[in-house]
């Protein structure tokens, strides 16, 4: 039985526990904003990977906002279809390194599943270490798992929650977008989204907590978050994906109990929104 003791695990740890009966490996890749993808290249996966597609499938289908959290009932149904059980140890990875996988990690955490970790360095680190790859994903199993969501409602928050924190000095709203987008110098990649940032928010571009797709050392992360140690941190980004990279980094730095703004800037600054912008 494989037991996860840290939300970030190395490719060596995954390899050592690769044949554990309760191990589930999930490919949570999504195309990064602003990146081009060579579709002519054959896909590459870690063997035994199941697809966890929060961008198109495991999301709230009743909103125009991208990849919002679904209901606990919908999440439970989709996760059971993947054969995932209450005692499953889940490792999520993506094709970039650390990009989309922390979003999947945070979704499971928000649904009460603690035995879940992000693969540090993702697929590139797995390949660099010389471990086996495949060009096929696993099919969903015939037998459903017994996973049941136990929602932790304080891990994802909405715009009304964030609005209340703007003037509250106990909070630090930390935005994971690139500095140029945070300052409103560059346009947003999504049509109809205004430039700027949430009033009083601070900017920690998600790239600042990484070294070539691998999480920085705990001591480096502690230095990054040190100035916010007396605040309740709240993470935001463009669409609620890279905010989860900051959440993972903050946890590695020793912090607990912080929410992610699910709709993030795409909701906050939509054309129909009248929320305050700086």
- Return the active site residues: 237
With residue 171 as reference, give the H or E element that holds it. strand 171-175
Contact residues for 49 (Cβ-Cβ < 8 A; gap 6+): 25, 26, 27, 93, 134, 137, 138
Q: How many CA atoms lie within 13 A of 106 on its CB side?
A: 34
Residue 6: partners with Cβ closer than 8 Å, 6 or more residues away: 117
Sign of the alpha-carbon dihedral angle for 148, 103, 171, 33: negative
For 32, which DSSP code? P
Instruction: List the beta bridge partners of residue 118.
Output: 8, 92
Q: Please tell me the total number of residues recorded for the chain in this structure.
A: 278
């Amino acid at each position: 039985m494989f037991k996860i003791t840290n939300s970030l695990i190395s490719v060596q740890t995954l390899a050592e526990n690769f044949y554990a009966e309760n191990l589930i490996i999930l490919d949570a890749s999504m195309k990064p904003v602003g990146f081009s993808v060579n579709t002519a290249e054959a896909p590459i996966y870690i063997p035994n990977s199941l697809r966890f597609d929060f961008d198109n499938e495991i999301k709230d289908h009743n909103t125009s906002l991208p990849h919002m959290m679904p209901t606990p009932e919908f999440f439970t149904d989709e996760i059971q279809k993947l054969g995932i059980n209450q005692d499953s140890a889940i490792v999520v990875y993506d094709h970039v390194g650390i990009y989309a996988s922390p979003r999947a990690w945070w979704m499971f955490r928000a649904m009460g599943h603690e035995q879940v970790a992000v693969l540090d360095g993702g697929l590139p680190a797995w390949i660099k270490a010389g471990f086996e790859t495949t060009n096929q994903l696993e099919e969903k199993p015939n037998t459903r798992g017994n996973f049941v969501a136990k929602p932790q409602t304080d891990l994802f928050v909405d715009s009304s929650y964030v609005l209340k924190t703007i003037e509250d000095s106990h909070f630090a709203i930390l935005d994971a977008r690139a500095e140029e987008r945070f300052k409103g110098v560059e346009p947003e990649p999504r049509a109809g989204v205004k430039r700027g940032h949430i009033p009083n928010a601070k900017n920690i571009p998600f790239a600042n907590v990484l070294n070539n797709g691998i999480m920085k050392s705990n001591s480096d992360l502690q230095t990054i978050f040190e100035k916010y140690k007396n605040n309740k941190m709240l993470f935001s980004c463009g669409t609620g994906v890279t905010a989860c990279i900051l959440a993972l980094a903050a946890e590695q730095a020793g912090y607990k109990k912080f929410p992610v703004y699910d709709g993030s800037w795409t909701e906050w600054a939509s054309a129909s929104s009248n929320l305050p912008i700086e």
